[in-house]
Amino acid sequence: MTAALGALALSGCGSDEPSGDGPQGGLPKNAGSKVNATSSSAEQAAFAAMLDKVAQPCSSPDGAASGPTDKKPTGPDGEQSLAPGEAPPTGSIEPGAPTGPETELSDRDRCASVQHEQRIIQALQAVSEPTPAKVRKTLNSLGYIDERIHGLKQDGEATRFRLDLRESGGRLCEAGLAAGEETDVTVCAAPAT
């Protein structure tokens, strides 16, 4: 009976199959909203501690993500500098409306995404022949738990994956392609729970 319960618990753990609950290619609507019964509280606590540690530079004013300022570029004498032949602007310039997942994320999530991307890319660039199993093992070694790793799928010689990094009402997720030196990880916004 214990073996049957263990097999049943493991069959749903870290499944790479989409649940059909979320948008195609996205995270399931309920990903991260419920604690998986097969995860230990120690594993959950370690994951939460890792998220806090990665986002720690984002919590202080010194680590806050920098944005555009109202200051104009100046030359060595403090005067506004212009490129040769360029005329000074005559009217106000209105910035375009921001687009993309960054507009749906909090400042802390945007900042934390950069921290996650850097550490994941660095680790996955060292993986030769990045199979889904090797990618999962590498992500696990960084503290990302199976229930937050989704969509592991071989794509030629690379592996695609998604990480659900939502916490405390945030919407942070990362989409990645493990491909050796060509590894790339980009921010995404998970569905609101």
Q: How far is CA 73 from CA 17, 77, 95, in A?
A: 51, 11, 17
In contact, 143 and 46? CB cutoff 8 Å: yes
List, for residues 146-183, the tens digit of each pLDDT value.
999 999 999 999 999 999 999 888 899 999 999 999 99
Q: Is the pTM of this model over 0.95?
A: no
- The pLDDT, as a whole number, for residue 191 is 82
* Predicted confidence (pLDDT) per residue in 25-39, tens digit: 444 444 444 444 445
pLDDT tens profile 82-129: 556 665 555 544 444 445 665 688 899 999 999 999 999 999 999 999
